[in-house]
Each structure stands twice: as structure tokens, then as C-alpha cells.
Structure 1
Amino acid sequence: MRQTNQTQVTEFLLLGLSDDQHTQQLLFILFLGVYLVTVLGNLLLIFLVQVDSQPHTPMYFFLWSLSLTDLCFSTNIVPQARALLSRKKVISFTHCAAQLLLFLIFGCTQRAHLAVMSYDQYVAICNTLHYPSIMTWRVCVQLAVGSWTSGILVSVVDNTFTLRLPYRGSNNIAHFFCEAPALLILASTDTRTSEMAIFFTGIVILLLLVSLILVSYGHIIVTVVRMKSAAGRLKAFSTCGSHLMGAIFSYGSSIVTYMTPKAFKEQEKLVSVFYAVVTPMLNPFIYSLRNKDVKGTL
């Protein structure tokens, strides 16, 4: 496990979230329960969209794609984390690189999907009459492909600037999975260039998508306020409010970690638990339980 200063690290030791055995057992049970709910919830939503011929609309298409992304995102992190928390804590450099690559692809794609879904809601509420002509299937596919493309591009950039660094010193990662800010601390060279690259991609992808979400929901709020029906306003605010809170939690936790990579400490690990473990479980409930069509299909 110990590496000399002249030898490239070939494996890492994930320290996890706690050194206490009882805490590790509690985390094992918690992670297992959250992961099972995540898998069941997202698979159920995917199944409902696939088997029912009625809900083939842009909203359902984006829900299906978001659920698929959440399922892959959680599966890339949680099973490995549960194993590390309970027994084996060693992860090879190759496995670590693959986990980081997939984590960024699915994570960035997930957040891009949330921005796309906010735009879909904006068109549905603010341009109801023109919705069918604006949100065509071609546009929906292009938006979905754009979401996945953005995730791949961000992943390639962040991985290139993280994994190109030499790791010849300590191999103890103070985290429960391989994440760029936690790895940069272990690099045996100056990491300012890599930090700036990650910071820049964070500005481009995170802040740009957050701006799209805020602008979309800003227009939605203005439109809803002008509604004459009090029941319609309450329903719209209830639905959009839950969606907006889900997006804020998801983006806020990512911004805290990736816009300040050098300050990766205990609080950042707890934030990572939220967006890497909890958010994929919450998304199916946030974006489906408020929808009467989804409940009717169920």
C-alpha cells in the first residue's frame, strides 16, 4: 500500500466517511436502503413510460432520460461505496479513473436534463398554444443528445486535467469514491492549472445551466401570477416549486464542491453524499409524484 516518491501510485485507499466501525455499519445500511429505493423508483418510472402508450410526450421523454441517467449515476457510485464502507477499501488507479469518468458524464448529464426540463415547463406554461410546434420530437432528441454531449465533454476535460498529474506520494483519498477535488490534493506537483480548468468548466456548464433554470422559472412565475384561477396558480406553484427546489439542491451542492476544489474538506464530503447518493433517489419523486398523468399511469 505504501508508495515511494519515485513510484507512480497504482492503487488508492479510500478512507470513507468515518473511522468508527459502528458508524460504518450504519452508513452501510443507509446507503443500501437509499440505493434500493433509487433503483426501484427509477426503474418503475422507466417501466411506466415504456409500457404505457399514452404518455409519449416530451415531458415523459425527459423523465425517462433523467431516470436512466440517475440510475447509471447512482450505480456507478453507491455499490462501490457500500463495499468500501464495509470491507475492502482499496481501489485500483484504473478503476478510480473509470469511476471518475462515468461520475462526471452521468452527473453533468443529469444536471443538463434538469435545465432542459425547466425549459420544457417554460414552453408548456408560457407558450401553451405553440408548445406542439416548439417541442417537436426532433427538438427533444437534440436537447437530450446535447445534454449527454455536455456531460461527455466536461468529463473528458476534467479527467484529462486530473489524471494527467503525477501521483507519487500519499495514496489515501479522504472520500468514499474517486472525485476530482479529492484526487487533486494527492497530486505530487502544482495543481493550479488543473484547478483552473475544473473551475472554468464549472462556470461554463453549471452557471450556464443554472442561469437557464432561473430564467425559465422566472418567466413561469410571472405567467402563473397573472393567472385568473386561484386553483391553477396553486397547482402551478406547487409543481414548479418542488422542481425548482430539486434543481437548487442538485446544482448548489455541485457548485460548493467544484467551484472550490482546493478547499475539499469534511463538509464537502457530506455535500458529495447528498448529490451523489440522495439526489438520484429524490428525482423520480420530485418530478413525477406532482404529475397527475404519471400517477394515473401508475
Structure 2
Amino acid sequence: MGNHTTVSTFLLWGFSSFSDLQDLLFVMIFFSHVTILAANTSIMVAVKLSHNLHTPMYFFLCGLSFSETCTTVVVIPRMLVDLLSDSKSISIPECATQMFFFFGLGTNNCFILAAMSYDRYTAIHDPLHYSSLMTHKICFQLMMASCMTGVVVALCIVLIVFNLSFCDSSIIQHFFCDITPVVSLACDYTIFQKMILLAFTAFVLVGSFILIMISYVFIGSIVMKMPSAKGRYKAFSTCSSHLTVVCIHYGFAGFVYLRPKSSDSFREDMLMALTYTVLTPLLNPIVYSLRNKEMQTALKKVRGSILNKTALNISKIFIVQALINKSRESEVIFVQLISCV
């Protein structure tokens, strides 16, 4: 290895080169994060409280919302702290943990999207037996398979990356512990390890995308055979939200993780990764709420229920305050009467 200093701590350099924009970036990312949490939580609450949304499609949507919320929590809070802090250091175990959860949840997202496409195929191919084909047990098994695939893939990636020797430079040219910026600091990173990591990335992105495309090829062939234009429109409209989310998700992720890398592309990759980690989880609930009447109705009910409960709680506070004030007035009158006697 030569004369190298072993690294025990990294620096997440991230947006340090944009020193004049850090306050603006903090405000924008903070409000985006709050919106992501509010939007995805609203979808999960709407699915939970609305009995007409207790279907496989919304079960998977709820799982996707939860997984994407967790993905942002893994990255964004740390990014916000680093934007305000002079110390941007992160220990190797913390870096490995962040990478594990980010890629585990990211893999989970991809295969949930694949499960959703299979659900749409089943609903269009055999609507009469849909409820017996997509039972709660099968949906749960598909969700658990996505989750376990994420755990295995993330564990393999972390073991490969953090078994490397890091020496000399400790500056990660990114706002979180992503694969390429971290392995670029290793002094024993070989083409063999590079190919294995690329294979895992391709398995997740290309593999799940192929599964989605297979489902949509079959959906397309079924829809084209439908005699009525109204039936074809209805079938395609049930898939439009999912297709939109797939295009957004795989467009950004594919650009970041599948294109050839160079040391000059880190900055570009970082900006695209920011879009991927912030914009995608923000757009998904918007797409499903704007293009889905059932979800719109459920969200209105949830919003109405929250407003009613808030109004009721406020009225209770006012009533209690009025009673307290009245009690105090009575107490004063009573004291005055006693003093007169």
C-alpha cells in the first residue's frame, strides 16, 4: 500500500462549494422534507382510514410511501445539519449504516413498484378472480420479498465497499455516503469489485424495470384486444399514475447509477442525486393524489376529519377557559360577600 494514512473519519463535503447558497439550500430542502413527510403520511393515513382503499394497489402504495419516507429520513436530516455546521465529519460505521439503509430502502422501492405493476396486470387480466389471486397473504409476501431483497443487496454492497482500505483523502464529494464517491477514496479498489457493485446496481434497477415492462407488455396486449374505447381508456387510466411514478423513479436513478462515471462527474451526480432523493418522494404522492379520484376523496375526508377534530379541540379549550374565568369571578364575588359580612 505504500506510505498511506489510514482514514477513520470521512468529511461529507457536499454543498460546501456552494457556500453562498447554503442558507437558501437549507430552507428549500427543509420545506421539501416537511412536505414529503406530510404528503406521504397523509397517503398512509388515508389508506388506513378509508375502507374502500383497503385493496392490493393501495396496500403497495402505502408501503411505497412508508419506504420512501424512510429513505428521505436516512439522508435529508443529516444533510440539513451539515448545511448549518462547520464540522461535516462522519465516522466509517455511521457512513456504512447510512449506505445500508439508503440502498436497502431504495431496492425495496424498486421491487414494490414491480409488485404494483404485477397487481395492475392481474386486475386487468382477470378482474373476476382478482380478489382471490391478490389475497392479503400474497400481497404481504410480495412486500416482504421486496424488503428482504433490499436487505440482502444493501448488506452485500456495504460489505464490499467497507472491506476496502481508505487512505490519504477523506473528503467525500457528496452530501451522503453514496457508492461511487466513497469507493473513489479507496486505495485498493479493483475492476473486479467495480463490476460486482455494477452487477448489484443493474440487478436492482434493470431487473426490477424488466419485471415492470413484462407486466406492461401483457397489459398492453390485453387492452388492445378490448372492443370498446371506453374499456381501453379505463384500463389505461388505472395504470397511468403508476407509469408516471416509474418514469420519474427510473429516469433519475438510472442516470445517477447506470451511466459511466468519472471524477469530473461527481458534482453532476450530486445534483441529480439531490433531485432523486428529494423530488421523487415529493412527486409520488402528488401524482397519486392528482390522478386518482378515490385517493382525492379519501384525502378530503382525512383533511375534513383533522379540521373537525382541531375545531372541536379549540372549542373545548375555549369552553374550559370560560368555565375557569367564570369560576374565578364567582370566587371573587364570594370573597367580597364574606368581607362585607
With normalisation by structure 1, the TM-score equals: 0.91
CA contact (8 A) 2:120 2:238 kept: no
Alignment of 1:196-275 (within 5 A): 196-260=195-259, 262-263=261-262, 264-275=265-276
C-alpha spacing 1:189/1:13, structure 2 compared with 1 (3 Å): same
Q: Which has the higher mean CA deviation after the structures are superposed, 254-263 or 51-60?
A: 254-263
State the distance in 2 between where 1:228 and 1:29 align.
53
Aligned to 2:22: 24
CA contact (8 A) 2:121 2:218 kept: yes
TM-superposed CA distance for 1:231, in Å, is 4.4
State the distance in 2 between where 1:130 and 1:285 align.
31
Q: Which structure is larger by alpha-carbon Rg, 1 or 2?
A: 2
TM-superposed CA distance for 1:57, in Å, is 1.2
Q: Deviations over 1:66-103 (max 9, x none)?
A: 11101100100111111112224222222111111110
TM-superposed CA distance for 1:233, in Å, is 3.6
Q: Secondary structure at the match of 1:19?
A: helix
State the distance in 2 between where 1:276 and 1:267 align.
14
Aligned to 2:182: 183
Q: Which amino acid aligns with 1:134?
A: L
Q: Which amino acid aligns with 2:266?
A: K
CA contact (8 A) 1:198 1:258 kept: no
Q: Deviations over 1:38-82 (max 9, x none)?
A: 100111111112223332111121111111101100100111111
TM-superposed CA distance for 1:23, in Å, is 1.7
C-alpha spacing 1:25/1:229, structure 2 compared with 1 (3 Å): farther
C-alpha spacing 1:175/1:291, structure 2 compared with 1 (3 Å): same
Question: Of residues 51, 56, 60 in structure 2, which corresponds to 1:62?
Answer: 60
Question: Of residues 28, 35, 38 in structure 2, which corresponds to 1:37?
Answer: 35
CA contact (8 A) 1:85 1:176 kept: no
- 1:149 aligns to 2:141 (yes or no): no
Q: Which amino acid aligns with 2:51?
A: S
C-alpha spacing 1:204/1:20, structure 2 compared with 1 (3 Å): closer
Aligned to 1:74: 72
TM-superposed CA distance for 1:241, in Å, is 3.4
Q: Deviations over 1:249-283 (max 9, x none)?
A: 21232233333474352221122112222111111
State the distance in 2 between where 1:66 and 1:89 align.
31
Q: Deviations over 1:161-215 (max 9, x none)?
A: 1011011210001101111111010001133222111111122222111011112
Q: Which has the higher mean CA deviation after the structures are superposed, 102-111 or 214-223?
A: 214-223
Which stretches in structure 2 are left out of the alignment for 5+ residues? 300-341
CA contact (8 A) 2:174 2:266 kept: no
Q: Percent of pairs identical after alignment?
A: 37
Aligned to 1:283: 284
Aligned to 2:324: none
Which structure has greater helix proportion?
A: 2
Q: Which amino acid aligns with 1:11?
A: T
Q: Which has the higher mean CA deviation after the structures are superposed, 240-249 or 58-67?
A: 240-249
State the distance in 2 between where 1:128 and 1:158 align.
40
With normalisation by structure 2, the TM-score equals: 0.80
CA contact (8 A) 1:45 1:64 kept: yes
Aligned to 1:129: 128
Q: Which amino acid aligns with 2:60?
A: F
TM-superposed CA distance for 1:141, in Å, is 0.8
Q: Which amino acid aligns with 1:267?
A: E
Aligned to 1:92: 91
Q: Which amino acid aligns with 1:216?
A: S
Q: Which has the higher mean CA deviation after the structures are superposed, 217-226 or 77-86?
A: 217-226
CA contact (8 A) 1:72 1:106 kept: yes
CA contact (8 A) 2:244 2:287 kept: no
Q: Secondary structure at the match of 2:14?
A: coil
